[in-house]
Every structure is written in C-alpha cells, then in structure tokens.
Amino acid sequence: MVQKAKILLVDDRPENLLALEAILSALDQTLVRASSGEEALKALLTDDFAVILLDVQMPGMDGFETAAHIKRRERTRDIPIIFLTAINHGPHHTFRGYAAGAVDYISKPFDPWVLRAKVSVFVDLYMKNCQLREQAALLRLQLDQGANGSGSNGSKESAGLLAELSARLAAVEEQAEALSKQLDESADAAAVATAAHLERKLSGLRRALDALEPPRSGSDGIVKQQGPE
C-alpha cells in the first residue's frame, strides 16, 4: 500500500481551511489543519509534510514569522511553503514572502485549478524522494550483505536483491523523467530546481548500483572485459 503524503494547511479562519480541503481533496492525500502558526510548528515536530500552504495574515504569529521558524529548523527547512494572502501590498510585500523562504506567493481569491496543480507538483516530488530513500536503504543492505555474505547462497541472495533494487530504481527514474517533462511546460523555478536535485541523486544511486553488478561472462565462462586492457 502506497503511503499518502501529508499537506499542512495553516489559516486562522475555519472557512478558508474548509475551502482548501475542498480544492485539494481530489489529490487524495492526507490534509492536516493548523489554525495558527504555533499549531503549525507543533504539527511539524512529529510529522513529515510534502508542502505547506501558509496564510500570511494571522493574529499573533503571522505567516512570515511562522515561515522563519520553519526555515530555522533542520528537520523542516526544506519543506516547500506556498504563501496565501488576501491582501496585495505590492512587490515589496511579495518580496518579503520569498525572502521568508516561500516557493510561491498566491493572492486570494486564487484559481483552484492552479493551486491544486502547484501543490500536486510538490507532492509528486516528495513521493519520488521517499522512493529514492527506500532505494538507498536497499543499496546499503546490499553493501552490508556483500561485505558479510559468503558462499553460493549469499551470492544468489545478493543477485536477487540487486535485480529487485535495479527494477525499483528504473521505475523511479521513469517517473522522474516524466515529471521533469511536465515541469518543463509549467516552468515553476522552485519545482524545476527540486526536480533537478532529485535527478542528480538518482544518477548517483544508479552509479553506485552499477558498481555492485558482477562482471558479465560469456557462454564459455570467460569473464568479459568492460573496456580496453
């Protein structure tokens, strides 16, 4: 069963949270409410989130201050933040949002389809990163078995694990490539940068996996050379 991503919705007005839930319910992910900056920071202590939708105008700790706390924490600093605001104070206000660490800044009322599409991109990137961490864990297991295993049984188990890991990694690579093509059309700079980072990690994992592959041999049992002697 594929685990769902969590999306944090932060707004002091219940009707706004209800509207966000209605817009994002089609993504079929887990939506978590927070009615204040303090409540949002508490939720971030225990759960991992794919993206945060953060209202700017809130009593007490506003969106800018909440974002600053999020970006100071090592655990949460890389979570994408989309600011939502009902007031447009011009370029200076928007710049303050980006300076606080937002990947996007959207004024209300916003187009529901556009918001859902933006959130979907970051959910997809989050899921690919989760899959990548799973492949890395399998690779570490393979390395441990290669260091400690011996005999034909150990070799067979290692070969089977390598084949499974390679197949899983190929599936993630295919999905990442499709996502990159989608981002080329949307041209969202923050999402494109995140996708490029994901592709670099995928390439590194593929190189490490290739290095574990045993030398191929021909039908005569002689090991084939991979390159010129």
pLDDT digits (tens, 9 = 90+) for 53-102: 999 889 999 998 999 999 999 989 889 999 998 766 656 666 666 677 77
Answer yes or no: is 202 within a domain.
yes
Does the pTM of the predicted model rise above 0.75?
no
CATH number at residue 84: 3.40.50.2300
Answer yes or no: is 115 within a domain.
no
Q: Which long-range contacts (CB under 8 A, 24 or more apart) does 90-96 make?
A: 96/64
Residue 67: its pLDDT value, please? 92
Are residues 130 and 49 both part of a single domain? no
Are residues 136 and 193 both part of a single domain? yes
Are residues 134 and 186 both part of a single domain? yes
Residue 132: its pLDDT value, please? 77
CB-based contacts of 62, cutoff 8 Å, min separation 6: 37, 56
Domain end (from 110, 145, 162): 110
Is 53 in contact with 7 (CB distance < 8 Å)?
Answer: yes
Instruction: Provide the number of structural domains found in the chain.
Output: 2
Structural domain boundaries, residue 19? 6-110
Q: How far apart are CA 19 and CA 131, in angstroms?
A: 31
Domain end (from 54, 76, 110): 110
Residue with tokens 């990690």: 201
Are residues 128 and 173 both part of a single domain? yes
Q: What is the CA radius of gyration of the chain?
A: 22
Q: How far apart are CA 227 and CA 229, in angstroms?
A: 6
Are residues 106 and 131 both part of a single domain? no
Half-sphere exposure (Cβ direction) of 102: Cα atoms closer than 13 Å: 24
Domain end (from 51, 78, 110): 110
